[in-house]
Amino acid sequence: MRTATISFKNRPIVVYQYASTAMLGRLNAKMNEMEYNFEFRRKLKQVMSIELMSHVAIFQYRDGTKMYLEVS
């Protein structure tokens, strides 16, 4: 497991990588694609960390809930 940090709208988010480094680039591209989705941006403010596995990013929120996002 590797740890990386990505920034989205000037907010750093910790990413725990279980996949290749190329998936981190795909996650960045997917987040930029969803930049104008206001529901996504509102929920992103509550994210503590992201786990990146093969083709899925798991967003972990402060209250313990999770959101799954396909990044392929």
- Strand spans (E) along the chain: 2-8, 11-17, 47-53, 56-61, 66-70
Count structural domains, the chain.
1
Q: Record the pTM.
A: 0.87
CA Rg value for the chain: 11
CB 71 within 8 A of CB 26: yes
25-72 pLDDT per residue, tens:
899 999 999 989 999 999 998 999 999 988 899 999 999 999 999 998
Its domain, for residue 44, covers 2-70
